[in-house]
């Protein structure tokens, strides 16, 4: 006799009764921009979909229009042009951590990519998706701020370049318009010696959403610091660049700096919250420690 399922009808997951209306998978960027211009906010854009599917798991059946960027090979390139490093929005975390160019020129970004999720997530998730999700805990965002990245946003009619520090407007919010696609990340190169440190704090060593992240990138002429990029994630409604901390470092050597005092200054510069990954007080205290740790690591790198 066939046994009846004990699951009540109202407890079953809602599934699609009528399929989506359109699933677009263009083979060139111009066509993708035309589709975005036509459907705007009605359209869900799929890059790696590692965040998208989780965020929409209970309502996938409600999404009528999809734009899948997987065939846009022009957005999967990493190249140097006009003394700037250009990274396509469809470059995956795995691509970043395996790229000799990224490891050589942007090691902090490569290290952050290696800390993202699992091997499966790193092979699917993209830098563009991490940016557009705009979570304060996004692992790549603090490194991008510390490297003074800019983002190319394109429409069917044109394009604009936006600084990373201006792009994020709130938790999972940014200033992209409904007809825009993020197509490229642009990072300036330098002839100076550049060293960096990346620290991610979480409740376990792997497969973790960050409790706090710190990216420090310093440029040197001799022993003197001539440019500094200091940014943190999971300590404010958006990833934040700590310009006050950077200003203290300029024209100093690492040996001139009071690491503990800088750590305390970091603590007073952030505005974390309480959540499941840590309390406000815990994040503030850890911020002091990770700043000191990062500067000690940089001192070892510079002196070696």
Q: Which position has the token pair 């409740």? A: 203
CA angle 236–107–72, rounded 5-degree value: 85
Cα separation values, 65 from 42, 137, 149, 179, Å:
7, 28, 31, 14
Percent of the chain whose predicted confidence (pLDDT) is above 70: 91
State the pairing for strand pair 43-46/65-68.
Answer: parallel
Integer Cα distance of 234 and 282 in angstroms: 12
**End-to-end Cα distance, the chain:** 75
Q: Cα torsion at 57, 61, 64, 66 (round to 10°)? A: 40
Q: Which domains does the chain have, with CATH numbers?
A: 21-68 (3.30.43), 73-188 (3.30.465.10), 193-303 (3.30.390.50)
The 10s digit of each residue's pLDDT in 21-47 is 888 999 999 999 999 999 998 999 999
pLDDT at position 19, please?
63
State the residue for tokens 């992240």. 213
Collapsing DSSP to helix, strand or coil, 143 comes out as: helix
Beta-carbon count within 10 A of 148 CB: 18
Residue 1 has pLDDT above 50, yes or no: no
Tokens for 52?
Answer: 């998208």
Per DSSP, the three-state class of 275 is strand
Tens of pLDDT, residues 201-219: 976 555 567 889 999 999 9
E runs forming strands in 155-192:
159-163, 168-170, 173-174, 181-188
Say if residue 5's pLDDT is above 50.
Answer: no
pLDDT at 18 over 70: no
Q: Are 251 and 225 in contact (CB under 8 A)?
A: yes
The answer to whether 293 and 199 are in contact (CB under 8 A) is yes
Could you tell me which residues come within 8 angstroms of residue 207 by beta carbon, excluding any fewer than 6 positions away? 117, 118
Answer whether residue 135 shows pLDDT above 90: yes
Which residue, 282, 89, 87, is CA-closest to 188?
87
Residue 221, CB half-sphere, CA atoms under 13 Å: how many?
Answer: 6
Please state, in angstroms and rounded to a whole number, the distance separating the CA atoms of residues 105 and 39.
38
What does the pLDDT read at residue 208?
61
What proportions of the chain, in percent to the nearest 5, are helix, strand and coil?
Answer: 40, 25, 35
Most confident by average pLDDT, 62-71, 155-164, 263-272: 155-164
Q: How far is CA 47 from CA 41, 128, 180, 284, in A?
A: 16, 8, 14, 34
């Amino acid at each position: 006799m066939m046994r009846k399922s004990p699951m009540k009808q109202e407890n079953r997951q809602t599934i699609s009764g009528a399929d989506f209306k359109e699933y677009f998978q263009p083979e060139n960027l111009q066509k993708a921009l035309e589709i975005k211009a036509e459907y705007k906010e009605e359209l869900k854009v799929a890059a790696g979909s590692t965040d998208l599917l989780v965020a929409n798991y209970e309502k996938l059946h409600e999404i009528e229009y999809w734009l899948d960027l997987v065939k846009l090979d022009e957005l999967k390139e990493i190249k140097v042009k006009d003394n700037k490093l250009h990274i396509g929005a469809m470059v995956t975390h795995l691509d970043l951590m395996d790229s000799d160019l990224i490891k050589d020129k942007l090691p902090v970004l490569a290290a952050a990519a290696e800390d993202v999720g699992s091997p499966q997530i790193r092979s699917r998730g993209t830098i563009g998706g991490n940016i557009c999700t705009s979570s304060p805990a996004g692992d790549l965002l603090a490194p991008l701020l510390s490297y003074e990245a800019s983002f190319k946003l394109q429409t069917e009619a044109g394009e604009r370049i936006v600084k990373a520090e201006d792009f994020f407007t709130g938790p999972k919010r940014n200033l992209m318009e409904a007809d825009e696609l993020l197509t490229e990340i642009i990072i300036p190169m330098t002839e100076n010696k550049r060293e960096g440190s990346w620290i991610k704090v979480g409740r376990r060593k792997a497969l973790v959403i960050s409790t706090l992240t710190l990216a420090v990138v310093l440029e040197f002429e001799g022993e003197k610091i001539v440019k500094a990029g200091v940014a943190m994630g999971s300590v404010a409604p958006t990833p934040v660049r700590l310009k006050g901390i950077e200003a203290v470092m300029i024209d100093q050597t690492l040996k001139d700096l009071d690491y503990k005092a800088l750590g305390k200054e970091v603590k007073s510069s952030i505005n974390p919250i309480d959540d499941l990954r840590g309390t406000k007080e815990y994040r503030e205290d850890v911020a002091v420690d990770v700043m000191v740790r990062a500067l000690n690591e940089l001192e070892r790198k510079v002196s070696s």
